[in-house]
Amino acid sequence: MTGDHADGSAESPTNGGGQPDRRALLLSGSLGMGHDVMAQACAHSLALRGFSTRTLDSLRMMGGRAGSAGEGVFRGMLAVPGLYDAVHFSQMRPGGGLSKAIEAASSRFLVPKLRMELRDQSVELLVSIFATGAAAASRVKSEHSRMVTAVFCTDVCVHRLWVHENTDLYLVTSNTAARFVRRFHPEARIAVVPTPVRQPFYDPPTQETAREALEIPADARCVLLMSGSWGLGPLVEGARALAEAGVWVLAVAGRNVSLAGRLRELANTHPQVVPFGFTDRIPELMAASDLVVTSSGDTCSEARVIGRDLLLLDVVPGHGRDNLQLELDRGRADVTSADAASLRRSVLAALDRTKPPSVRVVGTPEAWEQAFDGALSQVELANGW
């Protein structure tokens, strides 16, 4: 268990209650939950190798007004159809002028804070799991000759903000991502690793047990409907259309409070909709479902571990469209438009042709640990686990 700090940091326990042998600093970012989930996975694996870790939020490190502005700009771009696609594909991926301006502006805030953190407590390893964190880490690397800098990016098309000459190691989750890193850093040292999945997804309840706990009929058609911690897309309209077609819908709003309220209102008139806000019961909800309907992201790996096919909502522009294509290539996934009529038709067709397997584990915790150890060995930091 880690302790949260007022500055958005989290710290892992020291070894045996004393001073740790090794220290690592992780730079995450609070846009959605994906970055934090990956930071937690890295912190756990580093702890197995004798590291004490701190995790800092790159956005919160920028300060209240600057950090809020960063999230506000991103949300604003998502709200304008086509805008984030234009910025991502014309600026972020090739490293255009706007990309360079974002890097310079964020580093003005982040670099002094990062210098202070490293002055107060030096580290052996600095892992950036957020693009602006990677840019700041590159700028302080030369001041800490013994510090190894690493970047962990789960996007398939690693854009320019992630890649910097002073990075010692890149961790990516596909061969395509490795090629995008080398677009900007041809000599880069890269490790292709599985997407880490949290332990509860490897030990879910049976479908029968999960449905009994959720009071869902054993013979019902049931889907899990969610779209990241922001609840992107018309989830209320989709849940209504599916419920009216006779499908039970486990509808998760994530941290979107407004969406959670609207789902609760819908459930009052459509009892086949079972609403949730932010919840740690996702393994149970996946186990109860026949199909997982979601946007591209870490949820896809979690569903595959539990053994559920995916129907992907095309609602995340920019890097989300890149990642959606990768998930389709990985298999056991289809894509749908997010309007209610298209979603209803796609879900009913998917339910007709797929039945959840009793067991279909894709990857294991050991596979991640072995790959992570191999990555650390490239920079002479591995010591077994």
How confident is the model over 50-87, as pLDDT tens digits?
Answer: 999 999 999 888 876 655 666 677 778 877 888 989 99
Give pLDDT tens digits for 331-340. Answer: 999 999 989 9
- Structure pTM? 0.89
Percent of the chain clearing pLDDT 90 (strictly above)? 75
With a cut of 50, say whether residue 144 has pLDDT above it.
Answer: yes
| 199-353 topology per CATH | Rossmann fold (3.40.50)
Query: Are residues 317 and 334 in contact, defined by beta-carbon separation less than 8 angstroms?
Result: no
Hey, which bits of 180-330 come out as E strands? 190-192, 222-225, 248-252, 273-276, 291-294, 310-313
Question: What angle, 0 to 180 degrees and rounded to 10, lies between the N-to-C axes of helices 319-330 and 298-306?
Answer: 20
CA distance 128 to 138: 10
Q: What order do you get walking across the sheet with 310-313 strand by strand? A: 273-276, 248-252, 222-225, 291-294, 310-313, 333-336
Q: What are the residue boundaries of the structural domains of the chain, listed by start?
A: 3-194+364-378, 199-353
Q: Which CATH architecture has domain 3-194+364-378?
A: 3-Layer(aba) Sandwich (3.40)
Give pLDDT tens digits for 345-373. Answer: 999 999 999 887 655 656 788 999 999 99
Same fold, 3-194+364-378 and 199-353: yes
